[in-house]
Structure 1
Amino acid sequence: MTALGFLSPGHSAEDDYQRIEQLLGSDIRLDLVHTDVGEELETGSADRLAAGAEELRLSGAEAVVWASTSGSFGYGWEGAHEQMRALARASGMPASSTSFAFVHAVRELGVRKVAIGATYPAEVAELFAEFLRSAGIEVTAVHGAGTGAAAEVGEWGEEELVSLAQEADEADAEALLLPGTALHTASHIETLEKILTKPVLTANQVSVWEALRLTARKVNAPSLGTLFTREPLVQA
C-alpha cells in the first residue's frame, strides 16, 4: 500500500480525491487533511502547513502535496520553492504543491505551449502564467473567468467545465491547464480531452500525479487523461 498525503484548504472539491482513488484502481491510498484557511497568503504559511503535515506523517503518508494552486504560485517562483522546502523539513517526507505539479506534468507531456483556463480574476490568473513562464513554459493564452468563492465553482458540473475550457483554449496551445482545486474535474477529464483534442491538466489530477511521482509510482488510469496513460519521459 502506498499512502499519499494532501493538504487542502477548504472543502470545495475534496470528493475529487475519493473519485481519483477509485479510478486508480490499485494499492494506493489518498489521505486528505484540511488546513486552516486564513487571509490571502496566510493560508499557505509554514505554521499552517506544518500542522497538517504532522497529521499526515502520523497516518503513514509517504509524500505530501500542498493541494492549493493559488496558495503556492501566489508566493512567486522563489517563494514557492521556499514554501516547499519548509514543508519537507516539517513533514520529514518529499513535498510539493499543485503549482509545481503543473510544471512537472507539462514537462512530462513534453509540450512547450499551454493555455490557461482559470476561475480566478484575470490578474490572479496572470500570476499563475508568470509562475509557469519562470519554469520555461510558454503560455499562449490566459483566461480568467473572475468567478467568486471556491464554494461557487465547487458546484460546477461538466457543462460549466466545458464552457470554461472552450473559452480558454487557443489553437497554438498543446495542452490546456485548469488550475482551480475547487473544480470537480476527476470525472470529466476524458470528455474535455475528447472535445479539445489535446491533453487537459487539472489541479486535483496533477496533484495526485505529483504525489505518485514523489513516491516513484506509475499508474495507468486512462479515465484520468493523457497524463495517466504515458510512460515517463527520460529527463536529462
Structure 2
Amino acid sequence: MSDPGRVEQGRRQILVVDDEPIISDSIATRLRAEGFDVDIAADGPSAVEASKRLVPDLVVLDVMLPGFDGLEVCRRIQADRPVPVLMVTARVDETDMLIGLGVGADDYLIKPFSMRELVARVHALLRRSDRGAAAAAADVMRVGDVRIDVQERRVQRGESEIHLTRTEFDLLLFLAERPRAVVARETLLEHVWGWGSAGESRTVDSHVKALRRKLGGDLIRTVHGVGYALELPR
C-alpha cells in the first residue's frame, strides 16, 4: 500500500476495495498508470478505516466482501462524508443495483468489465465531482411543490426534506433545468454521468426509479423508446 503521508500534491487518491487480490491488484496497477495514488482494502471494516484515514477522492468498491458487504461500506463512508463511489459487482439483479444506488453509489460496473471502461468511469465521476465542487450557483429552483436548493444540494417536496444521493440530485437538477423537455437516456448518460453508451441505459432507468420512489411517481414522465421528462403542474 502507498503511504498516505507521501501522496504528491495535486494527485488524486483512489481506494480500491476487493477481496480478490488478482482483481484489486489489476485495478490498482491500471489506475496508477493513469497517474492516481491507489490504496487497497480487502474487507468491509478495513475499507471503512482506510476511507477515514486516506480521505480518498473516489472509491472503487466491490459488493461481495468479508466482514460486511460493500453496501454497508458505502453506507458508512457516505455517512462520514460524501465521496464518489463506483461499485463493481457480479450481481445483475436490478434490486441489488437499486439498493446500491440508494446507499450512495454513483455508478455501477458489472463484472467482467474492461479496464478501459473502468478508467473511463473513474475519470467521469471525478469530473462530475469537480464540477459540483466548483459550482457557485445560489439559485433555488422550484418544480411544482418540489424545491431544489442548488448551492446546498438539498431537495424538499412540500414540507418534507428528501435525501438524494449525489447522482440522484444531479439527474433531478438536469431534468429540472429543462422542464417538460424530453431528454434521451444517452444525453443523460453523457451529461450527468459523463459518458454515453446506449447499452448502459439501465443505469438511467434505475436512478429514475429511485427518484420516483423518493419524490413520487408523478414528477418524471417516461417517453417510451426515448427517455424522460420532468413534469410541471398545469
TM-score range with shorter-chain normalisation?
Answer: 0.3 to 0.5
TM-score (norm 2): 0.36
TM-score (norm 1): 0.36
